[in-house]
Amino acid sequence: MTNANDILEKTKKIRQRSDFLTNQVADPSVIADNKQYRLLAKELNSLSEIVEKSKALEKAINDKNECEKARDEEHDSEMKAMFEEECESLNGQIESLCEEIKFLLLPKDENDDANIIMEIRSAAGGEESALFATELMRMYSHYAENHRWKIEISDLNETELGGVKEATFFVKGKGAYARLKYEAGVHRVQRVPETESQGRIHTSTATVAVLPEVEDVDFEILDSDLRVDTYRASGAGGQHINKTDSAIRITHIPTGIVVTCQDERSQIKNREKAMRILQSKLYELYQGEKDKEQKDSRRAQVGTGDRSERVRTYNYPQGRVTDHRVNVSSFDLEGVLNGDIDIFIDALILKDRTEKLEMGEE
């Protein structure tokens, strides 16, 4: 059994830090400094769950000690058995709380509570790939609705048949990155295209990239490093849907990163969105340079889009969706495409937690 007192001791400094932050955010001078207040409040919020679990563990340990004392002093066999049962129940609570706290003590991804920027691009398979990309975009839209998150489209490049060549959109809501970051990679579809007269099954792919939307960064984007172009927003087949040059293309000259935004009618709003996306892409790039082993860069996430590089396969003839990273399948293809993807995300989170715990115990 896990030594509960050792676990409790590990949370001591965290609880002290939480108490300090609680006093700080109530200080008028801190409240007056909006940036400092937001940073301290964010840190305090990040500690709240572990503090809550630590207090619950402390109470359970005290209750168990009292229960054992009462059991050992009791002479009535029936009462003794009742105390014994209560002690066993408390031991179970303590063991469960210890496991939860052990996970919470692991280094946390600082972006888990962030909004995200998701990019979907058609890859191998031509028009069929673009149609599949449309379905992926719809799937994530349904998933966001189920979690009461907000979708905000930034850029959408469609084909004449209604497929998506590429789409960039924000998903706004607490915990969006914590769950959807696992969706990054190559998604593969196997089905008979409507245009296929022979009834042959085709394999196509679309890539998904997930970036956290970052607010506070330790680098500056210089105007001199940017090339900003304006153009008319257009729909499928190049048909103009806006008579003014409101669409924005921003090129970050030092890195070559290009960001486009054409969803808003206002050039100013499109520029604001594009700059937010650029900031997140640069953050991702610079983080990768700091730690070469990080795998959150877009290249690592999506590979080349080749049919053999896949994280998940959507097999229409068999009505099956399989996530190859955790070998989990769902035979509710329609449900998955309507946003029921927690079966995969929960399995991936569990896999991630287990690996981190095993590394921490080595």
pLDDT digits (tens, 9 = 90+) for 300-311: 555 554 555 689
Q: From edge to edge, which strands make up the β-sheet containing 328-330?
A: 150-158, 164-172, 116-122, 202-212, 185-191, 312-315, 320-323, 328-330
Residue 1 confidence (pLDDT) above 50? no
Which has more pLDDT, 334 or 99?
334
Exposed, middle or buried by CB within 10 Å (0-12, 13-18, 19+), for 70? middle
Which has more pLDDT, 290 or 177?
177
Distance (Å, rounded) from C-alpha 86 to C-alpha 109?
38
Buried b (16+ CB within 10 A) or exposed e, 147-172: bebebebbbbbbbeeebbbbbbbbbe
At residue 189, the pLDDT reads: 93
Kindly report which listed range (57-61, 115-119, 154-158, 198-202) carries the lowest average pLDDT score.
198-202
At residue 142, the pLDDT reads: 95
For residue range 201-222, list pLDDT tens digits in order: 889 999 999 988 877 666 778 8
- Chain-centroid distance of CA 177 in Å reads 2
Confidence of residue 155 (pLDDT cuts 50, 70, 90): confident
Exposed, middle or buried by CB within 10 Å (0-12, 13-18, 19+), for 82? middle
Which has more pLDDT, 1 or 4?
4
Tokens 């919470």 sit at which residue? 104
pTM value is 0.66
Helix-strand-coil split of the chain, %, nearest 5: 50, 20, 30
Interval 23-40 mean pLDDT? 90
Tokens 């990019």 sit at which residue? 119
Exposed, middle or buried by CB within 10 Å (0-12, 13-18, 19+), for 295? exposed
Select from 169, 183, 145 the least CA-distant residue to 276: 169
Exposed, middle or buried by CB within 10 Å (0-12, 13-18, 19+), for 291? exposed
The answer to whether the CB of 280 falls within 8 A of the CB of 171 is no
Distance (Å, rounded) from C-alpha 233 to C-alpha 241?
6
Q: Any alpha helices (H) in 292-341, and if so which ranges?
A: 298-302, 333-337
3-state DSSP assignment of residue 94: helix
